[in-house]
Amino acid sequence: LAKTTQPISMDSYEGQEVNITCSHNNIATNDYITWYQQFPSQGPRFIIQGYKTKVTNEVASLFIPADRKSSTLSLPRVSLSDTAVYYCLAPTSGSARQLTFGSGTQLTVLP
């Protein structure tokens, strides 16, 4: 299982773009990089997933360099409701997804 490392916490202000970088040096060839968001007392919510280069959806972008040893989640124009813990994962590829959560990044958006 690929071990991921990300900052413990980040602060931002409303309307700013937030970039959270994750390191996954031992990612396997078949692993996808996946980001989840979690609010207190709720289950994690899928944000975005990618294999290489750039992926964009309606809520975020994911940048993955060619060596795939790191990735950056970009949240455009954050609001107070984006305050949450963000997890970077590289789940194993197989008959089931064995998600191993690291410490995550506590993002606090300030007014």
> Contact positions toward another protein, by CB under 8 A?
30, 32, 34, 41-46, 49, 51, 87, 91, 93-104
CA atoms within 13 A on the CB side of 88: 28
Nearer to another protein, 58 or 111 (CB): 58
Tokens matching residue 3: 């071990």
Nearer to another protein, 42 or 81 (CB): 42
**Minimum distance from CB of 93 to another protein (Å)?**
5
Q: What does residue 82 show for φ and ψ, rounded to 5 degrees?
A: -85, -5
Rg of the chain over all Cα atoms, to the nearest angstrom? 13
**Minimum distance from CB of 16 to another protein (Å)?**
25
Nearer to another protein, 16 or 100 (CB): 100
Are 108 and 11 contacting, i.e. CB atoms less than 8 angstroms apart? yes
